[in-house]
Structure 1
Amino acid sequence: MSGNLHLHAVPSSALRNSGTWLERQFLDHAVAERYRPSRYRAQVLDERYRDQERIYISARSCCAEGLPETHVVLGGRQVARSGRNTPRLLVLTAGQARHVARFLSATDFPALWASARGELLPRYGGTAAEPETREAFAGAHKALRAFYTQTAEEGYAVVKRLSA
């Protein structure tokens, strides 16, 4: 699972400010599944997640909504943990998740891609690989939009686990 970003939706009432509890959401599938009534309760992005974040950071120049782009992938309140080599855990409140869902619903992926493509394409094979690269990022955008929309509709919070 190294190099991935895991996002889980959890009921706000169940959310705990404990690194141990949050980590269990990713390790104990029996507990985690109890809070995921639909396929959108969890989302995993591959090692491109840091570059996916760049697409939303570039949104400042093409979208009027403002700051939520910084919360889509890597944003949230960090939860203190013991151990230096453990993955980072982040939490978005239900209100923040709703804000991100509104942002993603209002954004136009072609505009996001146009803003970020010059920075991203050289890392993924240049213009020759643009169709595949664009499709991979568009697919992740679509999955994130579905995840956050469903999460917001249910009033859930989001817990994130960032691998190195």
Structure 2
Amino acid sequence: MSAYLRLRAVPPPALRNSPTWLERLFEGVSAETVRRHRDQERIYTGASPNPLAQDHPRTQVVLGGRPVFRAGRPGPPLLVLTAAQARRVSGFLAGADFDALWAFARDALLPRYGGVRAEPETWRAFAAAHQDLTAFYTHAAEHGEAVVKWLPEE
């Protein structure tokens, strides 16, 4: 059910557009790892996300950002949010009512995670991922940092 979304907050002046440089951000233990569920983006968007919708914080939480493609490498691109975008995402998450978000996505998610009987466990798992994401983006916003994402290769 879960995978890990690797996130790294970076001061904007240090940010480079090089896929190799961005990948190096994730070497070692310095990158934040956040529990992510395959369908976490449904909590925020209510439908299949559009990662290219740059003006909507709801769509930027998990899959949003400018893609940086890794030449000759399989898998999804790295994603980069500017400091301003990360600040908007942080504001959205800080003001979000998780129970309301869950209520909107619940019917689409529960069948994939064990149905109604598994709802308490499923709710807790998605709520924990939401808390992790909120804490990460809050920290990035407080420090004026951009965000680089490396999605798992599912």
**1:44 positional shift:** 2.4
Give the aligned partner of residue 133 of structure 1.
122
- Residue 55 (structure 1) aligned with residue 55 (structure 2): no
Give the aligned partner of residue 124 of structure 1.
113
**1:87 positional shift:** 4.2
Name the amino acid aligned to 2:111: P
Structural mapping, 1:62-81, within 5 Å: 67-81=56-70
Structural mapping, 1:1-164, within 5 Å: 3-29=3-29, 33=30, 42-46=32-36, 48=37, 50-58=38-46, 67-164=56-153
Structure 2, unmatched stretches of 5+, are 48-54
Contact 2:35–2:132 (8 Å) recurs in 1: no
Which structure has greater helix proportion? 1
Contact 2:79–2:150 (8 Å) recurs in 1: yes
Which piece of structure 1 moves more, 20-29 or 106-115? 20-29
**1:45 positional shift:** 2.5
**1:88 positional shift:** 2.0
- Separation of aligned partners in 2, 1:13 and 1:28: 22
Q: Secondary structure at the match of 1:105?
A: helix
**1:54 positional shift:** 0.6
Name the amino acid aligned to 1:20: T
- Separation of aligned partners in 2, 1:129 and 1:90: 32
**TM score, norm. by length of structure 1:** 0.82
**Residue correspondences, number:** 145
- Extract structure 1 runs of 4+ deviating beyond 2 A: 43-46
Q: Percent identity?
A: 61
Name the amino acid aligned to 2:77: R
- Separation of aligned partners in 2, 1:87 and 1:112: 26
Contact 1:88–1:163 (8 Å) recurs in 2: no
Name the amino acid aligned to 1:97: A
Name the amino acid aligned to 2:17: N
**TM score, norm. by length of structure 2:** 0.87
Q: Secondary structure at the match of 1:20?
A: helix
